[in-house]
Amino acid sequence: MYKLEIDKESLTLPYELSLTNFKMDKDPGTNNPASYESFVQLFSKDGATDHHIYMNNPLKFDGLTFYQASYFEVGPEQYGSVLSVNLDPGRPVKYFGSLLLVLGSMWHFLIRRKNYLDFQH
């Protein structure tokens, strides 16, 4: 019998993130958010750096990926940002597997084409 358990783990990071600005665009004529993005400052041992996090543009730092996940209202026309943090140590393996799939498909196409051309002559 096998048991799989997933548990949350709390980590203390050796750097800090500070939200410097939050921008939300709304659909024209409505109050519905169309997009939102965070401007953050990252304080690490190398100093402070500015980053812009929005959809399809996460912050990748120190093996972690910070995605813009949501927002919350803290006052009238003032918002806070919710970032999702992802640790994916298997990412290179997935990319290598994708590369092998593409190369294998090309190889298969070339072999089939060669066999087809040999059959025609």
The whole-number pLDDT of residue 121 equals 62
pLDDT by residue (tens digit) across 31-88?
Answer: 788 888 999 999 999 999 999 999 889 999 988 999 999 888 888 888 889 998 888 7
Whole-number mean pLDDT of the chain?
87
Beta carbons of 39 and 20 less than 8 angstroms apart = yes
Q: Where are the domains of the chain?
A: 16-87, 89-121
Collect all residues with Cβ–Cβ distance below 8 Å to 36 and sequence separation of at least 6.
Answer: 22, 23, 24, 25, 54, 68, 71, 79, 81
The residue behind tokens 């799989």 is: 4
Kindly report the number of other CB atoms within 10 A of residue 61's CB atom: 15
